[in-house]
Amino acid sequence: DAGITQSPRYKITETGRQVTLMCHQTWSHSYMFWYRQDLGHGLRLIYYSAAADITDKGEVPDGYVVSRSKTENFPLTLESATRSQTSVYFCASSARWVTSYEQYFGPGTRLTVT
């Protein structure tokens, strides 16, 4: 199906474990983003990518790693999960990144770190 998908939708992991959240889009959008959503903070940008092999930090990058070897995939890895990383994670994509362009969001991954 066309669109942007995330997997898994729900994940429970233990402190210290590595976990990877997957994001896949079928529009061939150049730009992809990872956000986390927490009560009282809204959505905060973790990392973004302008194209394959081009990534950059957002507002809250510490503890996260991204890669983008293919245009359609943008995985987010928590190298050693901490309880403060319990959150809902959203992946988004955009055809262009100018100030009036729409970002399309995936359905989110709810991550709990115990």
Closest to other proteins by CB, 69 vs 100, is 100
Say how far apart CA 74 and CA 21 lie, in whole Å. 9
**Binding region for other proteins (CB under 8 A):** 4, 35, 40-45, 48, 58-59, 90, 92, 97, 99-100, 102-103, 105-108
Query: For other proteins, which is the closer residue by CB, 64 or 106?
Result: 106
Q: Smallest distance, Å, CB 36 to other proteins?
A: 11
Which lies closer to other proteins via its Cβ, residue 28 or residue 99?
A: 99
Question: Closest separation between CB of residue 39 and other proteins, Å?
Answer: 9
Give least dist CB 100 to other proteins, A. Answer: 5
Neighbouring C-alpha atoms within 13 Å toward the C-beta of 46: 26
In contact, 46 and 74? CB cutoff 8 Å:
no
Q: How far apart are CA 104 and CA 32, in angstroms?
A: 9
Asked whether 32 and 93 are in contact (CB, 8 A), the reply is yes
56 touches 65 (CB < 8 A): no
Q: Which residue's CB is nearer to other proteins, number 46 or number 78?
A: 46
